[in-house]
Amino acid sequence: MLRGHQTKLILAALPLILTLVGCELASKPLKTSPAKSEYQSPTVVTSQSVQDLEQRYADLKPLNYSNISLAAELDQENRRLLAVLQNKATLTSQEEDLKYRLSTLMGKRGQQNFEELMKLKPTGRWFNSGELDRTGHRAAFIILQHGDISKVLDLVPEIKTAAENGLLTMQQYALFADRVAVVKGEPQEFGSQANCVNGEPTFPPVREPATVNQRRKAIGMSKTLEEYQLDIIDLKMCR
């Protein structure tokens, strides 16, 4: 999906790097029912699995307080299926077609979800605990993080407050704060963001690199910046 783009924020496209920094919702679906208490990440992508996802999206009503977790779950499933294909060294013609369908679906539905979230979100602020519970907050964050961050640059303090109150994780706050910083042309605080440039990952500047690992550790990031960047390179996310 990133192929063909000169520069692209990796975190805007895929769930795997979110997993590396500890965002639990990036690696498994939101638990919208007891039946989903256990989950196995997909290892193959079939025409049926893509068709099922397309149908579930088609059945999804406009975003509201009751279906926001389902919308985020479908978004993450879309990205997991796409990641399976992106991580393969070679693809069959059928797999290339499935990859295109998943990429198109992700872009279209991601933008639609974001626009609907902006309509649902209270004017001038983030959701409070009376409007969305912890699961709802984290679902809304997934949709927010995959949207047009330039439209929500002022939300950093409120996302931080939500994390401090346990409605989001501090790692999610770090992802959002860093992404806003990159969009504004400022140094990252935690180094969570990476770009794809000509098929290779590059890493935007970090404020005071000598102390960044202390800041990462303080909010629960298990890996140093150096380890994290090596993981991004090894995952070949920019192919």
User: What are the backbone angles phi and psi of residue 202, rounded to the nearest 5°?
Assistant: -130, 160
Tens digit of pLDDT for each residue in 116-173?
A: 999 999 998 999 999 999 999 999 999 999 999 999 999 999 999 999 999 999 999 9
Contact 196, 5 (CB under 8 A): yes
Residues contacting 136, CB < 8 A, separation 6+: 65, 68, 69, 127
Range 51-55 average pLDDT = 97
- pTM given for the model: 0.79
Please say if the pLDDT value at position 204 is more than 80.
yes
Q: How far apart are CA 32 and CA 165, in angstroms?
A: 22
Residue 231 or 99, more confident: 99
Tens digit of pLDDT for each residue in 81-90?
A: 998 998 888 9
Predicted confidence at residue 237, as pLDDT, reads 67
Angle (nearest 5°) at CA 101 between 74 and 4: 110
Taking the domains of the chain in order of start, what are their residue ranges? 7-235
Tens digit of pLDDT for each residue in 89-124?
A: 899 999 999 999 999 999 999 999 999 999 999 998
